[in-house]
Amino acid sequence: MALKKKSKSSTAASAAGSARPKTSGRLRRRHASRVSQDKADAAPASASSAPAPAEASCQSPLQGYADFITGLEKEHRLRRIPSEDAGDRIDMLSNDYLGLAAEADRYLPEFHERFPDARFTSSASRLLSRANRYHSELEDYLGRLYDRPALLLNSGYHANVGIIQALALPGTLFLADKLVHASIIDGLRLSGADFKRFPHNDPKRLHRLIAGLHGAYQRIIIIAEAIYSMDGDMAPLHELVSLKAEYPEVMLYLDEAHSFGVRGPLGLGLAEEFGLIDSFDIIIGTLGKAAASAGAFAVTSPVMKEYLLNTARSFIFSTAISPAQAAWSILMIEKITQLNDRRLHLQRLSRHMVSELSRRLNFESPATTQIVPLIIGDAAEAVLMAGHMAAGGFDALAIRRPTVAAGSERIRFSLNALLSEKDIDRLISLIGRYR
Ligand SMILES: Cc1ncc(COP(=O)(O)O)c(C=O)c1O
Any ligand 1 atom below 6 A from CB of 225: yes
Query: Is residue 157 located within the same domain as residue 288?
Result: yes
Q: Is 42 domain-assigned?
A: no
Note whether residue 215 is domain-resident: yes
Question: Where does residue 59 rank: exposed (0-12), middle (13-18), buried (19+ CB within 10 A)?
Answer: exposed
| pLDDT tens for each residue of 133-188 | 999 999 999 999 999 999 999 999 999 999 999 999 999 999 999 999 999 999 99
Residues 355, 320, single domain; the answer is no
Instruction: Supply the range of the domain harboring residue 424.
Output: 1-17+25-34+83-98+340-435
Is residue 166 located within the same domain as residue 267? Answer: yes
Instruction: Find the CATH number of the domain harbouring 410.
Output: 3.90.1150.10
**Ligand 1 geometric centre to CA of 156 (Å):** 5
DSSP letter assigned to residue 227? B
Same domain, 318 and 394: no
Q: Is the CB of 260 under 6 A from ligand 1?
A: no
Continuous H helices in 119-236: 133-146, 156-167, 182-191, 203-213
Measured distance CA(391)–CA(387) in Å, rounded:
6
User: Ligand 1 centre and the CA of 32: distance in Å?
Assistant: 21
- Quick one: angle between helices 379-391 and 421-433, nearest 10? 130
From the alpha carbon of 225, which atom of ligand 1 is closest?
1
Same domain, 374 and 294: no
pLDDT above 80: residue 342: yes
Statement to judge: residues 135 and 94 lie in one domain: no
Same domain assignment for residues 389 and 317:
no
pLDDT tens digit sequence for 63-85: 999 999 999 988 888 888 877 67
214 CA → ligand 1 middle, Å = 30
Instruction: Answer whether 282's CB lies under 8 Å from 253's CB.
Output: yes
Residue 368 lies in a domain: yes
Q: 408 in a domain, yes or no?
A: yes
> Do 236 and 136 lie in a common domain?
yes
397 band by pLDDT with thresholds 50, 70 and 90: confident
Q: Is there a single domain that holds both residue 2 and residue 144?
A: no
* Residues 308, 324: Cα–Cα separation, whole Å: 24
Domain boundary among 337, 354, 384: 337
Task: Please give the helix or strand (H or E) that residue 339 lies within, else none.
Answer: none
Q: Is residue 57 part of a domain?
A: no
CA 38 / ligand 1 centre spacing (Å): 15
Band (366; pLDDT cuts 50, 70, 90): confident
**How many angstroms separate the alpha carbon of residue 257 from the centre of ligand 1?**
6
Is residue 326 located within the same domain as residue 357?
no
Q: Which residues, listed in sequence order, are joined to residue 253 by a DSSP beta bridge?
A: 223, 282
Give the domain CATH number at 171.
3.40.640.10
Among 337, 356, 380, residue at a domain's last position? 337
Domain count, the chain: 2
Same domain membership, residue 327 and residue 385: no
Ligand 1 in reach of 286 Cβ (< 6 A): yes
Rounded Cα–Cα distance for residues 166 and 171 (Å): 13
Q: Does 155 contact ligand 1 (Cβ within 6 A)?
A: yes
Residues 351 and 394 in one domain: yes
Residue nearest to atom 8 of ligand 1 (CA): 156
264 or 405, which is more confident: 264
